[in-house]
Amino acid sequence: MNTFWNEDTMTAPSATDTTGFDVEKVRADFPALHQEVYGKPLVYLDSAASTQKPQIVIDTLAEFYGRYYSNVHRGVHHLSQVATELYEDARRTVRSFLNARHEEEIVFVRGTTEAINLVAQTFGRAEIGPGDEVIVSEMEHHANIVPWQMICQEKGARLRVIPMDEHGDLQLEHFEEMITPCTKIIAVTHVSNALGTVNPVREIIRIAHAHGVPVLVDGAQSAQHLPIDVQELDCDFFTLSGHKIYGPTGIGVLYGRKELLQRMPPYQGGGDMILSVTFEKTVYNEIPYKFEAGTPNIAGAIGLAAALKYYRGFDIDAIVAYEKHLLKYATERLEEIDALRIIGTAREKASAVSFTLCAVHPHDIGTILDQHGIAVRAGHHCAQPVMQKFGIPATARASFSFYNTRQDVDRLVDGINQVLEVFT
């Protein structure tokens, strides 16, 4: 095989520190960044919604579909065996990336939303009953609110919410007092998609486990910005979405502690999640296959593995340092604009700045910036309770990756000033 990532023959660009980080060499790997929008060079500042893809991921998908495509687990012929090996190797890659103990703790899903729904509809349905409680935080994405609301409504349970302050930090002073014998699970985001807040999940997990309560960590916004070690975190569940970490859409991961996955009932019924079926009885497969009904997103998993290997080829600490430097620079530049209000000024943030402009709707901000080749996100970011907390309907959000530059930030600031000229 030629295109599939081979760590012996292919390496990602090196990065050693904030001054030595060769961002232009990184950008060369991302073809989408080298285009014009409305006659202006593209500035892509929407990576929190979805990241661009390096050429190695694009090539991996093309080669799989062009040369090695077949269904997995069910064929004795050569192509099926190759596809199966590539698919299961992707699972091993994810296990290594997250430092999970066992391969069977890695379940492939469509994304973080499906991963959370899987836990809510399996663990939740089995463990939550009338009068029980589920704890989430005030800064959750809808994907970590609605599934728990649904199971609470079905079971007669109660959803409780960890509040946050006016800066976008969780107020954990009374968190431990919220945990009662009725608390069955705590589900919190690692990094807020709307504010960029990095939550102290290790401390949350420590407190929860002291009371015997499992914790799900929504890692959709953290896996591409922070080193992740599920054993060090000691979380019970962790989720990520492939498209947010330089991989394809339609693929994601649920990590679950082995002993929990083993006792959870299946999520969906169909092929590959069974050992045997009669009209009288079905015997379910072992984990993780028990949760992977039907033909999986084979190419997506293989593409995700290529993305993770690409990302893992960097010095992750250098990426974190560079992105912190970029976020600090962006925050300082945006604070120079008198009419601009940054929404979310938490003590620790990661690669996103949400803001409003006096008398300008965020959708108008996004539309005018787009005319200048600058891509940002405008809206409530599927986090309406966050918007309600700050008394606003929406924000504009600039989110960064290790392929962004200080020049991108400068273009953003120039673009915002041009937005203000239109409305003054």
SS3 state at 194: coil
Rounded Cα gap, residues 329 and 309, in angstroms: 29
Helices and strands, number each (H, E), in the chain: 15, 17
Structure tokens at 152: 């609470």
In 146-226, where do the E strands start and end? 158-162, 183-189, 215-218
- Can you tell me which residue has the tokens 């239109």? 422
Structure tokens at 193: 């998609």
Q: Please name which of 305, 247, 236 lies closest in space to residue 95, comparing C-alpha atoms.
A: 305
26 phi and psi angles, rounded to 5 deg:
-65, -45
SS3 state at 282: strand
422 burial level (CB within 10 Å; 0-12, 13-18, 19+):
exposed
SS3 state at 341: strand
24 phi and psi angles, rounded to 5 deg:
-70, -35
253 phi and psi angles, rounded to 5 deg:
-140, 135
Show Cβ contacts of residue 256 under 8 Å, excluding neighbours closer than 6 positions: 105, 107, 119, 236, 237, 264
36: DSSP letter? E
The three-state DSSP-derived secondary structure of 123-150 is HHHHHCCCCCEEEEECCCCHHHCHHHHH
Type and span of the H or E element at 342: strand 340-343
Which candidate in 182, 235, 358, 382 is catalytic? Answer: 382
Tell me if residue 382 is catalytic: yes
Active site residues: 382
